[in-house]
Amino acid sequence: MTALNERTAVQTKAAGQPRRRALPRVLNVASIVLGIGIWWALVALGLKIPSPPEVVDTARGLFSDGTLVTDILVSLARVLAGFALGTALAIPVGFLMGWYPVLRGLIEPWVQFFRTIPPLAIIPLAIVLMGIGEVPKIFVIFLAAFLACVIATFQGVVNVDRTLINAARVLGANDAVIFLRVVVPAGTPFILVGMRVGLGSAWATLVAAELIAAQQGLGFRMQNAQLYYDLPTIFVSLIAIGILGLLMDRLLLLAEHKLTGWQERR
């Protein structure tokens, strides 16, 4: 009888899983529809912003002449380059800061110092030192991604349960084994959260980065449209940045679920 009850409980739990997975998607769609409805209502109430059809028409025109596709590809390349370089450097630096107190004392003040400086304030220095090509644009995005990710990685290392490290030492593991088998897996959730925050910072910095003598890109298109009070084009660029950022965030979230499946989640 007990085995039958256990089997029934397992079957009930398995049957409920697809429902639980589908609920967030349904809520996401409902939220998007509600957001568009509120947008339309604000336009109807007299707020001086373009309506959804106006934005769609502008997006269609920018897409048909290739402007939107070109801007998306250019901005995406800048964000990916800066984000990839930032996280590639942030992860080892964060691990070193968390594992070695001496390096922590040397590096952490500089990390905290640069975190308080907005990327927009770095632009004049970047132009003077690096010119007006692609390098300063990518550098500003790199800095934003690096500073967000390095702190999360560092916190992931210092928050590793000491009991796990001590147990590994008792079993005869050396520092290299402890680092690879205990610290890295335990720090992975923090790294992925830091990457998601860094990705958001990279996209948020894009508009500032494209102030540097850009001729293409979503940030440049917004700034150019601002001069002519072209609100539909500004909305198209904003929505494109939001959609691209959301899609990339969802890819990182998927990687997080795959790499940290051992974690309990609500």
The pLDDT value recorded for residue 154 is 86
- The first and second tokens of residue 218, run together, are 């979503």
Does residue 36 fall inside a structural domain?
yes
Residues 33 and 147 occupy one common structural domain: no
Does residue 97 fall inside a structural domain?
yes
Scanning 45-174, the segments in alpha helix (DSSP H) are 52-64, 67-99, 101-115, 119-130, 134-158, 162-170
The pLDDT value recorded for residue 17 is 56
Q: Would you place residue 10 in the very low, low, confident or very high pLDDT band (cuts 50, 70, 90)?
A: very low
Residues 81 and 173 occupy one common structural domain: yes
Mean pLDDT of 90-94: 89
Q: Would you place residue 124 in the very low, low, confident or very high pLDDT band (cuts 50, 70, 90)?
A: confident
The pLDDT value recorded for residue 262 is 57
Q: Is pTM beyond 0.85 here?
A: no
Share of the chain above pLDDT 70, in %: 90
Residues 42 and 67 occupy one common structural domain: no
The pLDDT value recorded for residue 253 is 84
Mean pLDDT of 133-147: 88
Does residue 265 fall inside a structural domain?
no
Residues 36 and 124 occupy one common structural domain: no
Residues 58 and 183 occupy one common structural domain: yes
Does residue 266 fall inside a structural domain?
no
Mean pLDDT of 126-147: 86
Does residue 264 fall inside a structural domain?
no
Q: Would you place residue 261 in the very low, low, confident or very high pLDDT band (cuts 50, 70, 90)?
A: low
On the question of pLDDT at 171 being above 80, the answer is no
The pLDDT value recorded for residue 7 is 56
- The first and second tokens of residue 96, run together, are 């070193």
Q: State the total domains in the chain.
A: 2
Residues 55 and 35 occupy one common structural domain: no
Query: Last residue of some domain: 14, 30, 49?
Result: 49
Assign residue 104 the CATH number of its domain: 1.10.3720.10
On the question of pLDDT at 74 being above 60, the answer is yes
Task: Find the domain containing 226 and state its range.
Answer: 51-259
Give the single-character DSSP code of 100: -
Share of the chain above pLDDT 90, in %: 14
Residues 81 and 159 occupy one common structural domain: yes
Residues 77 and 42 occupy one common structural domain: no
Residues 190 and 224 occupy one common structural domain: yes
Residues 77 and 178 occupy one common structural domain: yes
The pLDDT value recorded for residue 18 is 60
Residues 179 and 109 occupy one common structural domain: yes
Does residue 169 fall inside a structural domain?
yes
Tokens 């934005």 found at = 55
